[in-house]
Structure formats: structure tokens, C-alpha cells
Chain A
Amino acid sequence: MNFGVVVFPGSNCDRDAAYVTQDLLGQPTRLIWHQETDISEIDVIILPGGFSYGDYLRCGAIAQFSPIMKAVQDHAQQGKFVLGICNGFQILTEVGLLPGALICNRDLHFICDRALVRVEHNHLSWTQNYSEKAVITLPIAHGEGRYFADPDTLTQLEHNGQILFRYCNAQGEMTSNPNGSLKHIAGITNERGNVLGMMPHPERASDDVLGKTDGLALFQGVLKAAVMV
């Protein structure tokens, strides 16, 4: 399966994502400079974490105008997989592939921690390797990760099963919310389910040398989808 990881100036988790897909999962992976426009051979495109263009205006606001983003939109249109992690999630909302916005954390500080996250359902390739309502631990690292959307959008997200990950406590209850996200949202998909944006970093929880590996199943789930096709 061909993975592509987009590199914007200021991306800093690009190699971390490629390490998982290429070194840990043995899949061909290409780092794609943001000015490229042909990604036709790619099956899964990852928009990595970081601070694209320094995130000086608003997170992801400049990156959405990079030449690669047109290709990413076409890629999504074709129903192929798009995964936006952290800054990548922010870019996906800026470019309109996902609804809502990521705003400043509730306590106004950057937070780097390990968050408990509940897998809302496993009907999509992304989560098919998790059991439904599984509580997993994923690293978070963001200053603007508080999910925000208008009430109608939130209702639709709930209704369509587009909320894939929520912050929770060890029992899976909605009592813990590190950044103040509405509806405890940690990750959402588009309606079709092929575009996923999430603030937690599954790529940082994939290597058993570093301890936690709860994120690896997400990448493996996508791999399985490719095999099935």
C-alpha cells in the first residue's frame, strides 16, 4: 500500500509518521513536498503534525493554499484515504474537507500528555482493529486542539457517526477533557468516512520500544482495508 506524507515548511511530525508506515509496517512511503501536485500513485495520504508556515496567522490557514492541497482534495473526492493528525486535522478543517474548527485550548496552554480516548465505533477501516468503545491511550501535543462547531454541525456529526474518537476517563466515561473540546471530540471523519482528522498522535504510540502501542491498530486497519479491496 502506498503511503504519502505531505511536508509543508514547518511540518515536524512528517518523519514520525513515515517511520511508522515505512519502518514499522514495511509499506512504501513517500515524503511529498507541498509544492507537488501529482499524488496519483498514493493510496493513503497523511497530513502530519507540526506548525505549517509557523501557524502564525491561524493553524493551517496558510497551508490550505499550498499546491498539494488541490491534489489532496481530489484524492479525497475519489474516496481514497486522507489522515490529518494534529496540524493536519487543523489543515483539513481550514480547507473544508472536515467541518468545524480547532481553537485555543481551554486553559490557553500548550498541552503535551497522554490522553485517554474512546473509540466510538469500528465500522470504518480506521478503527476496524479496535473493539467498539475501547479506551486507548494516545499522546496529545497541541496548543489549539479544542474542537468547535455550531450546534447543527455537532448534531449532524453525532447523527452520521462521524465522531470517531472522544476524550474520556479510564472507564470510558465523558468526564475527562484535556482541551475543552465540544462533545469531547478528539477525532472526526467526513460523512463518507475516508477522511479522518484527529488531534491525538497515533504515530507516537506505535513503537513498542517506546512503550505504548495503542495507535498502531489504526494504521493496520487501513492496511487491512487495502488488502480487502
Chain B
Amino acid sequence: MTAIDTAPFSREEIAAESIKLEEYEEIVKRLGRHPNKAELGMFGVMWSEHCCYKNSRPLLKNFPTCGDRVLVGPGENAGVIDLGEGLHLAFKIESHNHPSAIEPFQGAATGVGGILRDIFTMGARPIAILNSLRFGKLDNPRTRRILTGVVEGISHYGNSVGVPTVGGEIYFDVAYSGNPLVNAMALGLMETADIVKAGASGVGNPVLYVGSTTGRDGMGGASFASAELSEDSADDRPAVQVGDPFLEKSLIEACLEAFKTGAVVAAQDMGAAGLTCSTSEMAAKGGVGISLNLDDIPIRETEMTSYEYLLSESQERMLFVAEKGREQELIEIFHKWELHAVVAGEVIANPIIRIVHHGDVAAEIPAKALAENTPVYKREIVSQAPEYAQKAWQWTSDSLPPCHEEGIGNQTWKDLLLQLLGTPSLASKAWIYRQYDHQVQNNTVLLPGKGDATVIRARRQTESVQTYRGVAATTDCNGRYVYLDPYQGAMLAVAEAARNLSCVGAQPAAITNNLNFGSPEKPVGYWQLAKACQGIAEACTQLDTPVTGGNVSLNNETLDHQGILQPIYPTPVIGMVGLVEDVRNICGQGWHSQGDLVYLLGTWEATLGGSEYLATVQQTVAGKPPEIDFSLEQQVQRACRNGIKQGLVNSAHDCADGGIAVALAECCLSGNFGVEVTLSPSNSQRWDECLFGEGTSRILVSVSPDNQQQWEAFLQQQLGNAWQQIGIVTGKVLNINSTLVVSLDEMRETTESAIATR
């Protein structure tokens, strides 16, 4: 007889907590008895993928996590790196995909709120937000509604809380129709001397509950976030939390003030799985226990059960362990900011979580049983690439209609360039970032749309110390590449992130990643996840950008019209940060002055495999994404960075989606100058391959003619022959080989209206 047979719950009740039957057996083994309802709920959320990485952990362990600059690696609320001059940067990315699919506004808003808490819990003041977003095609009204809601949610929360939303990326693809991705990344500068950690310590120390009240909102959000979406998901709307950015702003100020007193021993924000997660993680990390009295918790609703208290995901709440005797000092700070602060428990020697409610013990679980030694599912990785990938790899450009110097069929290259510039994924994102306050805090050096990455001055707001040091940040992932070849695609995402940082003159330093995938229980899904993790590990090792943490979001799947679960494109979003030694010495992507010389660093090699051109113009998703040569990649990036540092480079832009033609157009639009270039495709290269083919290790730069000699000598020494002068910055027209001629006005109208008018 198994434990299930004697369980006080039906199998349906157990399944409703997202607990598998074998996991239930394990719970009974660990407790030596059956759990009660509240305890079952606690295991349900703590053993969800969102909280314990039960499917992905074996794959994540190969990430490089150490480096000279890394102060805190994976495992804490956020990673922390050393920027020099005593400046420490906390950063992390997190997803809010499923809530945003159901309730776009609050889903996205609380995604921002949650990632900010991860940052200031460490003692860092948030200084920037980036968002990596994926939606279905914009002509679908539902997509339009989700996009509008998500953008308004981010705008509502980020603007009010006073943290600039400065960058990110957005793609629109039918693969994300039912399951949009909303990943929010935040950066913060440490304001406390010591990094505030989560591990509780000091038996007898009081446990403080601070911030907002607890209600029934967001019940079981972590479990919900870890399940696939269905028609009925809208019924789960109570699982979506409601955010209050005003409270969060006060909470930031109060927490940073509290940390500076030195009276806070440990802190943990209440995000996924609320009280359950924060108490058990603090206890487990500290090797102690915590006893918590629910009757002391400030509430916004009456008659809540212990289960509801423990699983509530009400926002803007934190748990502190305070130094005994100094709790009043902390409470007063929170009261000044008109926030709740109460002693709700204490640290105990016995390493258990004991929850008291109405004078009775409502739950009692060993802390480690919940938060550590959690279940791990090590699955078999199929040895051969799945059929879909093998089939896609057989594609070659020979299957495309023939092209001539003027165009393809009766479409001219100009028509095709304008078509690409009008594709929402490539078009101007001004309609979106104009709704985000991207200048609050007075540190935004490079505005959205002006560079390949954002650049923020690393000035501590609370000190009058002049600094020119800065940080650059970007998020990147081409999901189509990862779908076609997860290993290669993930490497390309890391390489592109590093290249984007190099294009603004920053030294790539470290990454955080958000692994958005389908179901790991399907062989194809697990293969994608495993291969992508290998790719990230390889690229991060090669480029010396260790992983300091991240987030895993699995089961991103929706039922299609035939009732078949369709996964999204596997999308491992890379959030990379880089060091800027002097923010006065950086580079934008737009042409700077008429007469400047334009160079292509890197190679002409480019492929239409997996390209935006192939997908948009030829309606084909196939081929192999570009190959990467890490040694050339690093040479090209180093040449660009050093050129910027020496003041030789006036603009730099990565050639990514849409190939060299789109990159040239972007340089024109951003700088408000034209360009005249001559491209020389090799004999075997088709014209569309040359114009719209995509490749790695390629950067377009412009240089003043006064510096030509010095610059070319420098390139020769840094890159050998892997560079070429291709043209000159001109007035208001983009002219490629006199066959693709288009005015800036025409391009601007197309690209700026693409998102706003759809």
C-alpha cells in the first residue's frame, strides 16, 4: 500500500496543488506523516519549477559562474558584480509570462515590481529596467490587446516607482500567439557596505514582516506560472497579483534606510509563493528554523485560512530577520514611510518552519524539505536532433527564386528593404519606449533607440561623489535561431549581447538569463532546453561573461485550434551587463557627421538560414542559423571597443536581424544622415544574401576622415584583413550600389508607423 491510498486528499486535490503522485510519496516520507492542506500547498509552490528548478537544475550546473568581477553568483536574490571604484552592481532577469497572458497590465506591472524587489532586497537601489518581450503577430487583435496591456503595465509601474525603463527588445512571431513572453531585467547599485543576504541567523532574533498587507490575490501564482496555458487559464485570474508601485517606491526607500542601520541580519522579498517561500528559504539558507505567527500578519481581507496566508502572492512585502532589541528602530523607519512593519515570528534553533495560526500549529515542516533537496528530474537528452530540425537544416538558398541586381521577381530591393523596416520586429520601437520614463534619476547617457545597448552612469544617488563610470546593459535572443538550432542559437544570443555592449564601448562583464521554453517532459522540449544550456555555457566561457543567476520559465505552450499543445520558440533571453570606464567615451549607432567613412568590421559571410528576410519575405522558417567563430568575434568586438576608447569611432552598430541593409538603414535613421556604400558580394553569393543575409562578428562603424590613416593602421593590426571600407556618410538618402536607393523620409515613415498603426 502506498501513502496515496491513505492520503486525506483525493488525487485531484493533490494534482490541483501541482504535485505529482510520486512527489506526494516523497512528502510523506520526509514528514513521516501526511501533510495537512496548508502544508500540501506549501510543498506545491516550493516544488514548482518556478521555485526549485526541478527540471532544469541538472542543465544549469554547467554554466560558468565565477569570474574576477563576480561578487555574488547564482543562488541569492540577484547576482552582484564589481564595477570598480567601489561600485557594486546587482542585476537579475525574471519572467512574468503566464500572468501577462491572462491579465497583461497587472501581469507585466508586477513582473517589474518583482524584479525590482530582488534588487533592493540585496541593499541596491534600482537604477534601470529592461524588458524582453515576445508577442504573436500584431494583426491579431488579441495580440494587440496583450501588447497594449503589457506596455501600459510596465509604464504604470516603472514610471511611478521612479526607475528608468531604458532598453530591451521585442519580437513578434506567430510562435508566441497564445503565450507571450514578458521578461523584466533590473539593475541596481549597492548603497550598503555589505551585500544583504537571505540566510537567517541568530536564534531568538525577531522576524519582521514589512510592506503591504496580505490578501487573497495571487494565490498559487508560482504553480500557475509553471503550468501550460489553456482555454481555462483565464479562470485562474486570481493567480495574477495586483501591483502598487507607490507602495514599492516607499518600500525601496524604507528598506535601504533600514539596511543602513546595520540592524537587519537578513532580508528576503516575498515574490513567488509569498510567506512560504521567504520563510523556508531564509531558514534553509541559514541552517536554522523560523516560527511565524499568522495572527500578527497585517491583512487586507478577513477570514483567511492558513493555506491562503501562506500561498498569497500579495505584492510589495518583505521578510526581515532583525538584530534582537533593534526591531523598534526598524519599525519606526517603515512607519515613517507609512508602511506596515510588525514582529511576526522569530528565528529558532530547530531547523523547521513552524506556522502558528489562531494559537495552533498550522504547519510544521523541516525547512530543507521545502527549500533544499527538492526533487530533481534528470531526463534523457535525445542523441539525434529531432525531425523538425533535421528537415529545416536541409534547406538551402537554391530553393529561392532567382534574383538579379535590381531585385527578385518584380520586387525591387528597395521594396524589400521597406517591407523589412515595416515589420514590427525590426521597426522602430519609439511608440513603446516613449511610454516609459527612461530619464528619471538623471543618469541615462544613451537614450533608447540611440545605441545598441543602454548606457547608465553609475552614480550613487545618495552621495555627492562625481563619477564617470557607467554600466551598459542589453537583452538579446533570436528565438527563431534557437528553434532551428538550440545550441548554435543560444551561443548566438550570448555573442550578440556581447557585441551590442562592445558597440557602445562597454566591456562585457556578466550575464543573467531567462530560459523560456516549452515542456521539458517532451523529448523535443528537453532537447531544446539542454542544447541551449550547453550553448550558453560554451559562449559564456568563450567570451568570459559568467552567469550570475536567472530564471527558468517552462511549459510555455498553448493549445492550438486542433487541440494540440504548441510550444513557443525556445527563447533563452540573455541579459548582459558591461563596464563603461568613462561615460563620456561611448558610442551611439547613428551616423555622426557627413563625410565620415563607413567600415564593415568582420566578414562578408552571411546566410539567409533562419533570417528575418526568409521568414518575412519568403515566408519560410528554415535553414541553419549563422556559424560563429569565437576568435574572430572577440577580435571584432575588441577592435570596436578599443576604437571607441581611443576616440576614433563616431558610431558603431551590430549587423543583426535583417542583415547589412537593415543595419545601414538603422544607422541612417538614428543619426539622421544618409550613406553611400558599395557592397561587393562574392561570386557565389546571391544579392539577397549579401543585403539581408545574417551573420555574426559584423559591426558597421563610421570614422572621421581625419582619422583614416590612424584608424586603418589600427584595424590592420587588430583584425588583419577582416575589415573593409564600404562607403561614406552623406545627406538624406541611403544608397547601396546605386541599386537600392531610398530616402530617409520614406524609411522613417515606414518604420515609425509599423507598430503604432497596426
Binding site for B on A (CB under 8 A): 9-10, 12-13, 15-16, 19-20, 22-23, 49-51, 53-56, 109-113, 139, 141, 143, 201, 203-204, 207, 209-211
Chain B, range 119-163, C-beta contacts under 8 Å to A: 155, 159-162
| Sample of 24 A–B contacts (CB below 8 Å) | A9-B338, A10-B246, A10-B250, A12-B161, A13-B162, A19-B442, A23-B466, A51-B159, A51-B160, A51-B162, A54-B244, A56-B246, A109-B155, A110-B159, A112-B159, A112-B433, A112-B435, A139-B439, A141-B440, A143-B159, A201-B439, A204-B439, A209-B457, A210-B443
Contact, CB under 8 Å: A204 / B442: yes
Residues of chain B contacted by A9 (CB below 8 angstroms): 246, 249-250, 337-338
Within 8 Å CB of B583, what residues of A?
209
Q: Does B444 contact A (CB under 8 A)?
A: yes
If A51-B246, A51-B249, A112-B434 touch, does A16 touch B161 (CB 8 Å cutoff)? no
Indicate whether A16 sits within 8 Å of B442 (C-beta atoms), given known contacts A54-B245, A209-B583.
yes
B residues near A49, Cβ cutoff 8 Å: 440
B566 at the interface (CB under 8 A from A): no
Residues of B within 8 A of A51 (CB): 159-160, 162, 245-246, 249
B245 and A141: CB pair below 8 A? no
Which residues of chain B from 397 to 453 have any CB-CB distance to chain A below 8 Å in the complex? 433-445
- B468 close to A (CB within 8 Å): yes
A109 contacts across to B, CB distance below 8 A: 155, 434-435
Specify which chain A residues have a CB less than 8 angstroms from the CB of B441 in the assembled complex.
15-16
What is the chain B residue whose CB lies nearest that of A143?
Answer: B159
Find B445's partner among A16, A56, A209 (CB 8 Å cutoff): A209
Q: What residue in chain A is nearest B244 (Cβ atoms)?
A: A54
Closest B residue to A16 by CB, please name it. B442
4 residue pairs, one from A and one from B, having the closest CB atoms: A12-B162, A54-B246, A51-B160, A16-B442
B161 contacts A113, C-beta separation under 8 Å: no
CB-CB under 8 A from B646, the residues of chain A are: none
Q: Which of B215-250 contact A (CB under 8 A)?
A: 244-247, 249-250
Residues in chain B near residue A113, CB distance under 8 A: 434
Taking CB atoms, residues of chain A closer than 8 Å to B436 are: 110, 112
> A16–B437 Cα gap in the complex (Å)?
14
Q: How many residues of B contact A (CB 8 A)?
A: 34
Name the one of A10, A111, A203, A204 contacting B160, with C-beta atoms under 8 angstroms: A10
Q: How far is the CB of A18 from chain B (nearest CB, A)?
A: 9
Interface string of B606-625 (1 = CB under 8 A from A): 00000000000000000000
Which residues of the other chain, A, contact B159 by a CB distance below 8 angstroms? 51, 110, 112, 141, 143
- Give, as a whole number of angstroms, the nearest-CB distance from A48 to chain B: 10
Chain B residues with Cβ below 8 Å from A111 are 434-435
The answer to the question of B464 belonging to the interface, with a C-beta cut-off of 8 Å to chain A, is yes
B584: Cβ under 8 A from any A Cβ: yes
Of B162, B433, B461, most buried by chain A (CB within 10 Å of CB) is B162
Q: Which chain A residues border B160 with CB–CB below 8 Å?
A: 10, 12, 51, 54-55
Query: Which residue of the partner chain A has the closest CB to B457?
Result: A209
The chain B residues found within 8 Å of chain A, CB to CB, are 155, 159-162, 244-247, 249-250, 337-338, 433-445, 457, 461-462, 464, 466, 468, 583-584
Instruction: Evaluate contact between B438 and A112: CB separation under 8 angstroms.
Output: yes
Assembled-state Cα–Cα distance A104/B441 (Å) = 24
Are B435 and A23 closer than 8 Å at their CB atoms?
no
Interface centre among A49, A110, A141 (most CB of B within 10 A): A110
Q: Given A50-B162, A54-B160, A55-B160, does the pair A10, B249 have CB atoms closer than 8 Å? A: yes
Q: What's the nearest-Cβ distance from chain A to residue B753, in Å?
A: 14
Q: Which residues of A contact B437 (CB under 8 A)?
A: 110, 112, 141
A211-B434 Cα distance, complex, nearest whole Å: 19
**Bound-complex Cα distance A79 to B464 (A):** 31
List chain A residues, Cβ under 8 A from B434.
109, 111-113
Contacts of A13 in B (CB 8 A): 162, 440
The closest CB in chain B to the CB of A178 belongs to: B434
Which residues of chain A have C-beta atoms less than 8 A from B161's C-beta? 12
The residue on B at minimum CB distance from A111 is: B434
Asked if B162 and A112 make an inter-chain contact with CB atoms under 8 angstroms apart, the answer reads no
Residue of B155, B250, B442 touching A203 (CB-CB under 8 A): B442
Considering the chains assembled together, what is the distance between the CA atoms of A93 and B715 in angstroms?
59
Neighbour of A110 across the interface among B247, B435, B444, B584, CB < 8 A: B435
| A141 contact from B439, B443, B445, Cβ within 8 A | B439
* Contact in complex: A112, B439 (CB < 8 Å): yes
Give bound CA distance, A9 to B162, whole Å.
Answer: 12
Q: Looking across the interface, which residue of chain B has its beta carbon closest to that of A29?
A: B464
Distance in Å from the Cβ of A139 to the closest Cβ of chain B? Answer: 5
With both beta carbons as reference points, the residue of chain B lying nearest to A19 in the complex is identified as B442
A109 vs B434: C-alpha distance in the bound complex, in angstroms?
9
B287 to chain A, nearest CB (A): 38
Query: How far does the Cβ of B466 sit from chain A's closest Cβ, in whole Å?
Result: 7
Compute how far the CA of A9 lies from the CA of B160 in the bound complex, rounded to whole angstroms: 11
- Specify which of A12, A22, A56, A211 is in contact with B249 (CB 8 Å cutoff): A12
- Within the complex, what minimum Cβ distance (angstroms) separates A148 from chain B? 21
- Partner of B246 from the list A16, A53, A207 (CB cut-off 8 Å) is A53
Contacts of B338 in A (CB 8 A): 9
Q: 8 other contacts beyond A13-B162, A112-B436, with CB at 8 A cut-off?
A: A9-B250, A51-B249, A54-B244, A54-B246, A54-B247, A55-B160, A141-B159, A210-B457
Bound form: Cα–Cα A55–B439 in Å: 20
**What is the bound-complex CA distance between A204 and B441, given in angstroms?**
8
Set of chain A residues within 8 Å of B244, measured between Cβ atoms = 54
**Chain A residues whose CB sits within 8 angstroms of the CB of B438 once the complex forms:** 112
Q: Give chain A residues whose Cβ lies under 8 Å from the Cβ of B433.
A: 112
Partner of A16, one of B245, B250, B337, B440: B440
| C-alpha gap A141/B162 in the complex (Å) | 11
A127 to chain B, nearest CB (A): 22
Q: Is the CB of B444 within 8 A of A210?
A: yes
Interface centre among A22, A54, A55 (most CB of B within 10 A): A54
On whether the beta carbons of B442 and A207 are closer than 8 Å, the reply is yes
Complex contacts, B461 vs chain A, CB 8 Å: 15, 19
A143 CB contacts on chain B under 8 angstroms = 159
Q: Is the CB of A12 within 8 A of B440?
A: yes
Contact B439 A209 (CB under 8 A): no
Shortest CB-to-CB span from A222 to chain B, Å, is 19
Query: Complex Cα distance A23/B338, Å?
Result: 30
Q: In whole angstroms, what is the CA distance A207 to B445 when docked?
A: 10
Contact A209 B162 (CB under 8 A): no
Cβ contact of B464, chosen from A22, A54, A210, A211, cutoff 8 A: A22
Q: How far is the CA of A53 from the CA of B160 in the complex (A)?
A: 10
In the complex, what's the smallest C-beta–C-beta distance from A105 to chain B, in angstroms? 10
Measured between beta carbons, the chain B residues less than 8 angstroms from A139 are 439
Cα–Cα, bound, A207→B444 (Å): 11
Residue in chain B with minimal CB distance to A49? B440
Closest residue of chain B to A23 (Cβ to Cβ) is B464
A15 touches B462 (CB 8 A): yes
Nearest-CB residue, chain B, relative to A51 = B160
In the bound complex, CA of A114 to CA of B150 (Å)? 24
Q: Are A110 and B162 interface neighbours, CB within 8 A?
A: no
- Cα-based distance from A50 to B438 in the complex (angstroms): 13
Q: Chain A: which residue is nearest B163 at the CB level?
A: A12
Contact B468 A209 (CB under 8 A): yes
Contact status of A110 and B155, CB under 8 A, knowing A9-B337, A207-B442: yes
Contacts of A12 in B (CB 8 A): 160-162, 249, 440
Instruction: Name the residue on A nearest B464 (C-beta).
Output: A23
Residue in chain A with minimal CB distance to B159: A110
* B581 CB to nearest chain A CB (Å): 14
Chain A residues with CB under 8 Å of B445's CB are 209-211
For A112, list chain B residues within 8 Å (CB): 159, 433-439
CB closest chain-A residue, reference B441:
A16
Residues of A within 8 A of B462 (CB): 15
Nearest neighbor of A9 in chain B, beta-carbon distance? B250
* Min CB–CB distance A196 → chain B (angstroms): 20
Q: In the complex, A54 Cα to B249 Cα: how many Å?
A: 9
Chain B residue at minimum C-beta to C-beta distance from A114: B447
Give min CB distance, B251 to chain A, whole Å.
Answer: 11
Tell whether, in the assembled complex, residue B246 and residue A210 are in contact, meaning their CB atoms are under 8 Å apart: no
